């Protein structure tokens, strides 16, 4: 929790805007999980990350920005869940996709390249 609080600047919630989307970063629950909520195009998606996964995400994001690869990805497994951060692109442009896969169910958030 202490590490997540330092990432959050001591607060419980932060909002970040990228292109036409906004993202809420909030610490939630008794276990102080990091909840990331994507708002865009009239839809809302959320992922909840345990502290170890949130710290992995920060490190993976840093490795991504330093990477020269056009096909970059990183993953972490926690229990029966797999978390995956991938560099992707489509006709709209480049983006990072953070996915959580658990028991055959998959959820994801897309961070635009801007």
Give the pLDDT confidence score for residue 5 in this predicted structure.
47
Confidence (pTM):
0.77
DSSP letters along 76-108, please? EEETTEEEEEEEEEETTEEEEEEEEEETTEEEE
Measured over the CA atoms of residue 42, residue 58, residue 77 and residue 93, the dihedral's sign is positive
What average pLDDT does this structure show over 50-67?
A: 86
Structural domain tally of the chain? 1
CATH of the domain at 105: 3.30.2450.30
The predicted-structure confidence for 59-93, as pLDDT tens digits, reads as follows: 888 888 777 777 888 999 998 999 999 988 888 77
């Amino acid at each position: 929790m202490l590490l997540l609080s330092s990432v959050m600047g001591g607060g419980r919630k932060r909002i970040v805007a990228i292109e036409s989307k906004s993202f809420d970063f909030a610490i939630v629950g008794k276990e102080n999980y990091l909840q990331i909520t994507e708002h865009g195009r009239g839809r809302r998606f959320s992922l909840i990350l345990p502290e170890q996964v949130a710290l992995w995400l920060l490190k993976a994001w840093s490795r991504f920005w330093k990477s020269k690869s056009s096909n970059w990805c990183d993953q972490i497994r926690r229990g029966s869940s797999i978390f995956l951060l991938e560099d992707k692109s489509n006709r709209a442009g480049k983006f990072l996709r953070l996915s959580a896969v658990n028991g055959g169910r998959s959820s994801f958030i897309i961070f635009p390249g801007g």
